[in-house]
Chains A and B, each alone.
Chain A
Amino acid sequence: MVRFGIEFVPSEPYWKTTFYAIQAEKRGFDYLWITDHFNNRNVYVTLTAAALHTEKIKLGPGVTNPYLINPVVTAQAVASLNEIATGRVILGIGAGDKTTLKSTGLAMHNPLTAVKECVEIVRRMMIEKSVTFEGNVFKTSDAKFFFKPTTEIPIYVGAQGPKMLALAGRIGDGILINAGHPKDVDYAVNRVKNGIQQAGKRLTDVDIAAYTSFSVHKDMEKAAQAAVPVVAYVVAGSPDVVLQRHGVDEEKAEKISGALKAGKWGAAFGLVSSRMIEAFSVCGTPDMCIERIAELLKSGISQFVVGSPIGPNVRKAIDLISEEIIPHFEK
């Protein structure tokens, strides 16, 4: 049975995100993912608040990156969080996004190696008394905690490109596939499966999640309207090969990117077409969303994550997902 996750961007005061996190738990979601960008509220502060106000939902960063946060600090943060929400903590690690990293003066060097080494260091810090690690990107020398982590923490690897997807399959307890269209998810799952096989694991050992831009409302137009800003950013950040896969005009994508950089939101959002919304989000009425999720399940995903914007009214959208979408997949 597919499990449902929900993603929040902590762009608003902590109490709003926590309010929605409590609601998501009450309404049957299994996973809570909080994005990690330094420009928003801190991911671990947000997760701590959510952990203190929930009891069942699994929760963690979705995703943090090894460049801004050193792996030993990530290990420390999730081990500490796990004392508040024992057995509920999960950790998503990805390469980060170039724009955010650039603004801090960091470059995304050797993303595959950085993610791989980060995962290894975090895992070892959870179980070993002292970690000495000689990697190509990271080095530790007798790194140790002055406390004992309570349990091991499942590590999910966020991935989009073919090499990162295969790596995620090899080393991850789970994979967060950043896509919501069957063409993209199918492509991604096949690469993940290769990685899983290479590592000699079983498919059922790994939780494969589609991490989607999602918008639901009983009125399709309203759902689509809410999805436009997020889709604009996705289009602007998508490589040409992905745009071509969906027949999206690359020139138009370039214009959207330029308008976003110039802060001309109206112009950028005005260029978002229905084809782009269809390609880069799961969006529409509950029945339309059910149809899309069912298609994605055929690819072999085991978790479906509803990500920003979730709906024009987040509170109502969570209720709608709980009442009309999740039950459909529990049958």
Chain B
Amino acid sequence: MLRKAIDMDYRRIVEMVPTGKREKLSTKLMDLILKSKSADKMPSGLARVLLHQWQQGPLTNERGLTTLLEAAVILESEKTMNILEEKLQLPDIAEAIKAVE
């Protein structure tokens, strides 16, 4: 139930990301989690969802971005905020995530 609620929250946040910035966000979040030294923090259920979605297609749609964002916040919270605020100029998204956390 909690996972579903979190998913819904992240889904709503992802809907706020401008379409033109979604691909760049996807790439940055992929690199962030793949290079993370905290990979062991990844919940096994979330890893399975991520791999399933990656197999189905690019992680640039709302479902893929939702999963990436959730994983990135768990593994690298501060760096995720930095990507959103500094690199992609999306402070509203960062604020919305802080509210979920």
Nearest CB in chain A to that of B57: its residue: A26
Count A/B pairs, Cβ under 8 Å: 35
Q: In the bound complex, how far is the Cα of B30 from the Cα of A24, in angstroms?
A: 15
The A9-63 residues at the B interface (CB cut-off 8 A) are 12-16, 18-19, 22-23, 49, 53-54
Q: Known A314-B34, A315-B31, A315-B34; judge A12-B39 contact (CB<8 A).
A: yes
A15-B50, A16-B34, A19-B34 in contact; A53/B39 too (CB < 8 A)? no
Q: Are A53 and B34 in contact (CB under 8 A)?
A: no
Within 8 A of B (CB), among A238-295: none
Query: How many A residues, CB 8 Å from partner?
Result: 16
Task: Decide yes or no whether A197 CB sits under 8 A from chain B.
Answer: no
* Docked-complex contact B51 and A15, CB < 8 angstroms: yes
Q: In the complex, A316 Cα to B54 Cα: how many Å?
A: 16
Residues of B contacting A22 in the complex (Cβ-Cβ under 8 angstroms): 51, 54-55
- The reply to whether the CB of A313 lies closer than 8 angstroms to some CB of chain B is yes
A residues with CB within 8 A of B = 12-16, 18-19, 22-23, 49, 53-54, 313-316
Inter-chain contacts of A12 with B (CB < 8 A)? 39
Name the residue on B nearest A55 (C-beta): B55
CB contacts (< 8 Å) of A49 on chain B: these are 51
B6, CB-defined interface residue at 8 Å: no
B42 at the A/B interface (Cβ < 8 Å)?
yes
B59 CB to closest chain A CB (Å) equals 10
Residues of A within 8 A of B79 (CB): none
Of the A-B pairs whose beta carbons lie under 8 Å apart in the complex, a sample of 25, sorted by A's number, is A12-B39, A13-B39, A13-B40, A13-B42, A13-B47, A14-B47, A15-B42, A15-B50, A15-B51, A16-B39, A19-B50, A19-B51, A19-B54, A22-B51, A22-B54, A23-B54, A53-B51, A53-B52, A53-B54, A54-B55, A313-B31, A313-B35, A315-B30, A315-B31, A315-B34
